[in-house]
């Protein structure tokens, strides 16, 4: 394992985000056997049941929770790389503090374009395409503000 991945693993243990991820996996996945080790100190837990968050996979610390089978997240898939970047973000954001920060950024993204991820810096830095997201444009009135073009006739 690379030194950077080992450091991420230790930081996420110390900041308790990996512990939180393992507790969530124990409480919200179907079977303990659906967990497996992944490259770079990550753990993949399959069978995540709760409806929130609405995603095929999400990360808490060094734990990646997936709705399907844990083996469905291949060793070098774009989605695994995307989720690994989120794991690094947990280390940089002091662990569980990332959860409200991510939520705030997702809310701002929703206001800007009607999508939780397109203008969320956490998702953009993790790679929108690798996470299966499309980049959506700003809402029309925001595009007009940005370009300085006037709105429709008669609009105040």
Predicted model pTM: 0.89
- The SS3 call for residue 60 is strand
Number of separate domains in the chain = 1
Residue 154 confidence class, pLDDT cut points 50, 70, 90: low
Express each pLDDT in 39-49 by its tens digit: 899 999 999 99
Q: Is residue 29 part of a domain?
A: yes
Helix (H) / strand (E) element for 44: namely strand 43-45
Q: Is residue 150 part of a domain?
A: no
Question: Comparing 151 with 66, which gets the higher pLDDT?
Answer: 66
Residues spanned by the domain of 41: 3-140
- Answer yes or no: are the C-beta atoms of 56 and 34 closer than 8 Å: no
Q: Is residue 146 part of a domain?
A: no
Q: Is residue 156 part of a domain?
A: no
Express each pLDDT in 40-96 by its tens digit: 999 999 999 999 898 889 999 999 999 888 877 877 899 999 999 999 999 999 999
> In this structure, what token pair is assigned to residue 146?
């940005």
């Amino acid at each position: 394992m690379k030194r950077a991945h080992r450091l991420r693993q230790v930081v996420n243990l110390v900041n308790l985000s990996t512990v939180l991820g393992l507790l969530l996996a124990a409480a919200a996945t179907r079977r303990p056997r659906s967990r497996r080790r992944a490259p770079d100190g990550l753990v993949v837990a399959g069978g995540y049941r709760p409806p929130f968050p609405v995603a095929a996979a999400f990360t808490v610390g060094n734990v990646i929770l997936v709705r399907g089978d844990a083996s469905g997240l291949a060793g070098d898939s774009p989605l695994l790389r995307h989720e690994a970047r989120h794991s690094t973000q947990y280390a940089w954001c002091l662990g569980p503090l990332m959860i409200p920060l991510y939520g705030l950024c997702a809310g701002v993204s929703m206001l800007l374009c009607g999508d939780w991820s397109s203008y969320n810096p956490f998702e953009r830095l993790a790679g929108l395409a690798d996470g299966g997201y499309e980049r959506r444009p700003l809402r029309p009135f925001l595009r007009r503000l940005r370009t300085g073009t006037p709105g429709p006739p008669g609009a105040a």
